Structure 1
Amino acid sequence: MTEVARAAAADPGQAGATGQPVLDKLVALLDLEVIEENIFRGVSPADRPIRVFGGQVAAQALIAAGRTVPADRHVHSLHAYFIRPGDPSIPIVYEVDRIRDGRSFTTRRVVAIQRGKAIFSLSASFQLIQQGLEHADAMPQVPGPDELLTYVEQVAAAKGTLDPTRSIPRPIDVRYVTEPPWLSRDKGPREGRNQVWMRADGKLADDPLLHVCVLAYASDMTLLDAPLARHGKYWWLDNVIGASLDHAMWFHRPFRADEWFLYDCESPSASGGRGLATGRFFSQDGTLVATVVQEGLLRVID
């Protein structure tokens, strides 16, 4: 740990908790309680005072779906809608509909419910491993994660211009390739691109479904920063009202979420009070492992 990191770690107000204990709490959140066949229950961490983090409910819903699928069938895609804000003070019930069990593909639909109303819905498709055509985009040329400041170091080095979410525990190690948005916003509009290295901040078990769900969790962390960057805006530091509306992911190749991956995000369009963002996940060896598309509500109050 560098001197900058030590200084930030010594002050809980400067940076959230990190490391294996925090990651273990995320894994525990994904270990849903079985209520009945096809019905599961999950909870939220106590440090989410306003609403349930979208990546959390997506990951929990995907775990629920995966627990009803044979282990030899792996997630290849998900499509989800965020319907209502989730209340972190009460449990979430996940109801799984076993839509289809085919010879190669298995389809599940999950509805997340609080107070008798749907807050989130997800459709996920699982596939037996099969051979076919192979091609993939190359990873952008960027500095490696070891060449970049950790999040704790980045916050400590900001000297007064800080990420307002810095005190939230962070199970995902995030290192910015592009300038962090809480710094770049002061420089006005810029290219709608956001690049970070990420990995689970500790060691995960070998369950492939767990790694997919952790990646789904991480995918909602920085994606909508891309459309805001094009307008020199950032959450909490500007009068921005925002929320995820829908989220889609395609998983192309095997990966481990506790190893480094580059999250390359950009925003091709914003209109009608909504911003569109796309993201690509690359493993550190340059392999494209997943693609993400999300549209979010983005309203800037002047």
Structure 2
Amino acid sequence: MTNVKDLVELLALKEINPTQFEGFSKTVGSPNVFGGQVLAQALNAATRTITNKRVLHSMHSYFLEAGDLEVPITYTVNIIRDGGSFSVRRVTADQNGTTIFILSASFQKREEGYNHQIKINEDVKQPEELMSWTEVLEQFGEVIPKKTKGFLAAERPIEFKPVELVDPFNKVDLPAFTNVWFKLKGDTSQLDLATKQQILTYISDYNILAAAMNRHASKAHWGNTQTASLDHSMWYFRDFDFDDWLLYAIESPNASGARGFAKGNIFTRDGQLVASVAQEGLMRPR
């Protein structure tokens, strides 16, 4: 995938019947199905069963098994409730008769109410001051560890610009946070809100566990630590556009029991809080 058009096509599932859909996978440089892809495709399935114009406001999910890149994924939607204001859907994702993922999503009718949010960190460097993953690979490719180099080299419809660059050869523990700017490649002007939310969910599974790994960087790295997303929750607050860079500000309050917990907030460049994310991931020393 090289641009937003490719990503939208990946997330738009084939309908088997009104509550069952089929999706296919594209690698992001890892041997298994990318968790963000399953998250976003499951939301695509759930949204396809919403006929009352309600808007996604939250989702909660669990990753149960690693997904096979070569096998289609079947998404089955259970219509749990259509109440006066909220609609709830439950989605299961299956491969070869095994459930690999489950998700619950809630949709709300459009309403007005009280409004407040936390502020964006105004001291964070702007994307024009930073190198993208592509530029990091071009400049430091000869010294980047092989596994990281292969991950960075994968074609993506998103450009990432980390605010804090981690030196893999400087074995020191780092603060348990990371900030990453991101922007879609290609024309984003025709995306509706539901599609933007699915794309944002896809992106939200990138970078989040890095905040937990940073705190143990003197000894832990992606080569000697088994990592995997275990669960993922997300709350959607405001409409937004992908025509400019967005900031993913992530921190990790805790790591214990071979698991790392991280939470993140996604802001527009002018400081509007778009969404919040929480994830616990496996961090098992090999």
Does the CA contact (< 8 Å) of 2:27 and 2:33 recur in 1? no
Q: How does 1:155-174 map to 2 (within 5 A)?
A: 155-158=137-140, 160-162=142-144, 163-164=148-149, 165-174=151-160
Q: How does 1:61-80 map to 2 (within 5 A)?
A: 61-70=42-51, 72-80=53-61
Within 2, Cα distance between the matches of 1:201 and 1:172? Answer: 6
Does the CA contact (< 8 Å) of 2:46 and 2:91 recur in 1? yes
The equivalent residue for 2:221 is 234
Q: How does 1:221-300 map to 2 (within 5 A)?
A: 221-232=206-217, 233-235=220-222, 238-300=223-285
More off after superposition, 153-162 vs 37-46: 153-162
The equivalent residue for 1:178 is 164
Identity %: 42
Deviant stretches of 4+, over 3 Å: 46-49
Does the CA contact (< 8 Å) of 1:244 and 1:295 recur in 2? yes
Which 5+ residue runs of structure 1 have no aligned equivalent?
Answer: 1-16
Does the CA contact (< 8 Å) of 1:202 and 1:258 recur in 2? no
Within 1, Cα distance between the matches of 2:34 and 2:225? Answer: 17
Say how many residue pairs are matched. 278
> Aligned in 2, Cα 1:295/1:252: closer, same or farther, shift over 3 Å?
same
- The alignment status of 1:213 with 2:198, answered yes or no, reads yes
> Aligned in 2, Cα 1:288/1:111: closer, same or farther, shift over 3 Å?
same
Q: Which amino acid aligns with 1:144?
A: Q
Which 5+ residue runs of structure 2 have no aligned equivalent?
Answer: none
SS in 2 for 1:296: strand
CA positional deviation for 1:148? 1.5
CA positional deviation for 1:49? 6.2
Within 1, Cα distance between the matches of 2:184 and 2:221? Answer: 24
Cα deviation code 1:99-147 (max 9, x no counterpart): 1111211110000000111100000001111111111000012121122
TM-score by length of 1: 0.88
Does the CA contact (< 8 Å) of 1:48 and 1:88 recur in 2? no
User: What RMSD in Å do the two structures reach over aligned CA positions?
Assistant: 1.6
Within 2, Cα distance between the matches of 1:152 and 1:45? Answer: 19
SS in 2 for 1:166: helix
Q: How does 1:78-117 map to 2 (within 5 A)?
A: 78-117=59-98
Within 1, Cα distance between the matches of 2:27 and 2:235? Answer: 31
The equivalent residue for 2:125 is 143
Cα deviation code 1:157-211 (max 9, x no counterpart): 22523233122111111001111x4x25624111011100012222233211110
Within 2, Cα distance between the matches of 1:269 and 1:75? Answer: 28
The equivalent residue for 2:135 is 153
The equivalent residue for 1:58 is 39
Within 2, Cα distance between the matches of 1:258 and 1:56? Answer: 21
Cα deviation code 1:8-63 (max 9, x no counterpart): xxxxxxxxx74x3xx32211111100001200000002666621000000000000
TM-score by length of 2: 0.93
Within 1, Cα distance between the matches of 2:28 and 2:139? Answer: 25
SS in 2 for 1:186: coil
SS in 1 for 2:212: helix
> Aligned in 2, Cα 1:54/1:262: closer, same or farther, shift over 3 Å?
same
Does the CA contact (< 8 Å) of 1:81 and 1:122 recur in 2? yes
